[in-house]
């Protein structure tokens, strides 16, 4: 895989992390229950760290991080909808990172993507645990 394609894939991941950060920060502000709000806020910080790692990989390879993103879906204004949206976002990230890891042949990039993938799996587990408690 050439460097240009690696940069394109890294930018795809970078934008996904931007979207997650913005959705999770917004939701953490309006989630009425303390535990899900704090977990969402902490995971938003993780997503920002992922952005930093991805931007570093992009710049090292001669690219520029893309700030273009789609219109954001927040999952509404209720906790259940927000957690469901956040779980869906993590699932999309997990699938994206699996595809990228399988196709990229740059050891440094793959190492970082594997680390991010592990964190995304943990994030989804955290959100699912909070969703199970909704309504209890």
Residue-wise pLDDT for 63-87, tens only, equals 999 998 888 989 888 899 999 999 9
**Rounded to 5°, angle at Cα 91 from 20 and 10:** 60
Report CA-CA distances (Å) from 126 to 38, 39, 57, 63: 11, 8, 27, 33
Percent of the chain surpassing pLDDT 70: 99
**Cα–Cα distance, 97 to 119 (Å, whole number):** 11
Domain holding 103, by residue range, is 3-133
- CATH number of the domain to which 35 belongs: 1.20.1260.10
Judged against a pLDDT cut of 60, whether residue 136 lies above it is answered with no
Q: What is the DSSP letter of 62?
A: T
Buried b (16+ CB within 10 A) or exposed e, 102-128: eebeeeebeebbeebbebbeebbebbe
Determine what percent of the chain is predicted with pLDDT higher than 90.
Answer: 83
Number of separate domains in the chain: 1
pTM score, whole prediction: 0.93
Per-residue DSSP letter, 72: P
Tokens of 76: 């509404």
């Amino acid at each position: 895989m050439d460097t240009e394609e690696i940069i394109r894939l890294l930018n795809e991941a970078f934008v996904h992390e931007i979207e997650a950060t913005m959705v999770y920060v917004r939701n953490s502000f309006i989630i009425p229950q303390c535990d899900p709000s704090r977990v969402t806020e902490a995971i938003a910080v993780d997503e920002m760290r992922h952005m930093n790692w991805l931007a570093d990989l992009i710049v090292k390879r001669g690219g520029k991080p893309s700030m273009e993103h789609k219109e954001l879906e927040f999952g509404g204004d209720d906790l259940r909808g927000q957690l469901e949206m956040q779980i869906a976002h993590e699932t999309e990230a997990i699938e994206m990172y699996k595809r990228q890891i399988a196709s990229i042949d740059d050891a440094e990039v793959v190492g970082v993507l594997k680390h991010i993938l592990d964190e995304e799996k943990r994030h989804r587990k955290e959100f699912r645990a909070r969703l199970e408690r909704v309504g209890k």
